[in-house]
Structures are given as C-alpha cells and as structure tokens.
Amino acid sequence: MTDDLATLSAHLAEAHGLDPADLAARVRAQLARRARRGRQAVKRCGDCGEVRPLFDFAADRSRPDGAQRRCRPCDSARQAARRASPTRGA
C-alpha cells in the first residue's frame, strides 16, 4: 500500500499544489486513526462497485462506517448530471 499511497499522494499533490510527503503522512495518520477505531481502510462504492480507500468517500456521521455510500468521483458525476438535467415543473 505504501507504493500505491506514494503514487496517489504524488498525483493529488501535483493536482492541488500540495507537498506529496506531507499529504502521504496526513493520509497515513488518518488511516491509523480509523484502524484504531475499528474502521476498515477500504470501502466498496455503491454506484461503481469499485473498492476504494476510505478517504475517497465524504464523511457521513449517520452511516455506521462514517462514510457516504458513493465515492467522491461517482457523487460528483451524479451531481453534475443532476445539474445538467432540465428542471421539473418549469
């Protein structure tokens, strides 16, 4: 996972202008906190079905695992499609 994490951190850091080492350290700390709380480090998206790291899901305190059902990319695509569709009743 370290190699995958380094690759992901480098990609995200480049896209958002962050320090890759700092981002990787923050993600490792987040995964360690979740592991201490008994949470899984990965989750399957309810839309695309892919198993993704838990930090690819937005927080949702009402869910048992503390994360939304859809991954961020699927949620973004769903919201974009909803905004692009014509409004009802207009």
Q: In this predicted model, what pLDDT tens digit does every residue of 36-89 receive, in sequence order?
A: 766 677 899 999 999 998 889 998 989 888 889 999 999 999 999 999 988 755
What is the rounded radius of gyration, in angstroms, for the C-alpha atoms of the chain? 16
Domain extent listing, the chain: 1-38, 42-90
- Give SS3 for 67: strand
What local confidence, expressed as pLDDT, does residue 1 receive? 47
Structure tokens at 15: 């896209």
Closest CA to 52 of 60, 42, 67, 64: 42
What local confidence, expressed as pLDDT, does residue 85 receive? 85
Kindly report whether the global pTM for this prediction surpasses the value 0.85.
no
For every residue of 41-56, DSSP letters joined together read SEEE-TTT--EEEGGG
Task: Name 13's bridge partners.
Answer: none
